[in-house]
A = this chain, B = another copy of it.
Amino acid sequence: LIPGDITLDVRRRERLGFDEAILAGPKSPEHLTAILDRAAEHAMSLLLTRLDAARFEALPERHRSRIDYETQSRTGFYGAPAALRPRTEAAVITAGTSDVPVGREAARTLRYYGYGCLEIADVGVAGLWRLLDRVAEIVDMRVIIVAAGMDAALPSVVGGLVPGAVIAVPTSIGYGVAAGGTTALHAALASCAPGITVVNIDNGYGAACAALRIIRHG
């Protein structure tokens, strides 16, 4: 990588209210270091996603020490996150324990921008009582993010129970026809509940950004 290979979107925060987010997954430590160097120059904060522990450990100490890293979600805050706002307007619901990392990526992204959320985990529809027991907690939320893999029946059921914005995040959890998350994606898109929206497979970050576009303006 040479200097000309990076053109940070330094005007993004003023335009959209978002900092640049760096999808660390496919990038080498050298590549990430070059980006963080550039961010340090501009004194920009960044959100790092899909930063697995090994890649985090491989960063130079000068950057690692500035990163608030969380293992499960594989996210890092480079620079200080916004102060936490008092009111909780979003919930993040996951269908199975394997979906938790995706849900937590959403929760961490919200937190980076100063928003807390209620996390409810492992309430898939095969044991429906687990969700029904907790409907009262989510019925007044402005945004409910629902992360589910396999058949992704949960967003449809949630969307039929609460009036707020429902953002489905299909996850890649599953095997056979569910492998990779396409079944979950299609099921969420084809939901019979009115007004559910969907983001890309495993895109907890994107769901949180969508939630922020909603919560901040209104």
Chain B residues whose CB sits within 8 angstroms of the CB of A196 once the complex forms: 199, 206, 210
- Whether A156 contacts B163 by the Cβ 8 Å rule is no
- Whether B126 contacts A7 by the Cβ 8 Å rule is no
Known: A18-B195, A209-B195. A187 touches B151 (CB 8 A): yes
Chain B residues whose CB sits within 8 angstroms of the CB of A94 once the complex forms: 5
Q: How long is the Cα–Cα vector from A79 to B94 in the complex, in angstroms?
A: 28
Q: Which of B7, B130, B206 touches A9 (beta carbons < 8 Å)?
A: B130
Instruction: Tally chain A residues at the interface, Cβ within 8 Å.
Output: 102
Q: How long is the Cα–Cα vector from A48 to B120 in the complex, in angstroms?
A: 24
Chain B residues whose CB sits within 8 angstroms of the CB of A192 once the complex forms: 95-96, 124-126, 150-151, 153
A85 within 8 A of B: no
Known: A95-B192, A189-B198. A7 touches B166 (CB 8 A): no
- Whether B119 contacts A4 by the Cβ 8 Å rule is yes
CB neighbors of B among A46-76 (8 A): 72
CB distance from A165 to the nearest CB of B (A): 4
